[in-house]
Structures are given as structure tokens and as C-alpha cells.
Amino acid sequence: MKILQLALTVLLFTAGCGNTPSGDQDMTTPGDMAMAAKKAFGDTCTGDADCDSNMCRGFMMMTVMKCTKMCTTATQATDCPNPPSQGTCTNQNYCRF
């Protein structure tokens, strides 16, 4: 009988200890973030996941982060429209800003 009482006591006290969200918590899930609109070529970004191309790179001595995309020297004029980019590729084969 004492084991049953102890089990019920523990159950009652731990039932209120779950992870219930408060009003100030961000309820965004990774699935929700994946559904968010991605940023276009030339938009400012903070990480690769922000961009349509999944390429967020630093420019102007790493002071500005922009969504860019892959390019080649042969196709840079069409791959990298000017504006918003400089119309050329970097040595790493992505559009330069």
C-alpha cells in the first residue's frame, strides 16, 4: 500500500513539471523555418539557409552578407546580373558583390 501511495504522490508532483510553453517562447519549429520564404539573389542574409541558392557569403571585407550563387568565368555575364552584383565571379566561383 505504501508503494502505491508513493507512486501516486510522485505522479501528482511530476505531472505539473512538464515543458509547457510560456507566452514569450518562440514556437517556431524547424519544419516551419523550412517553409519560410527564402531570400533572392543579392538580398542580405545571415546564413546559407536564408538563401534560395543556399549560398550566403561575406563581401566588402566580410562586412556585408549577401545571397549569391555559383558562376563560371565563361557564363558570369548571365549568371551574375549587374546590378545587383558586380557581374563577375570570385575565385571561388560565386557571384561577386
pLDDT digits (tens, 9 = 90+) for 13-62: 445 555 544 555 545 555 555 567 999 999 999 999 999 999 999 999 99
Rounded distance, CA 96 to CA 77, Å?
Answer: 11
Give domain limits for the chain: 38-97
3-state secondary structure of 6: helix
pLDDT digits (tens, 9 = 90+) for 66-87: 999 999 999 999 999 999 999 9
Half-sphere exposure of residue 1: CA atoms within 13 angstroms, side-chain side:
0
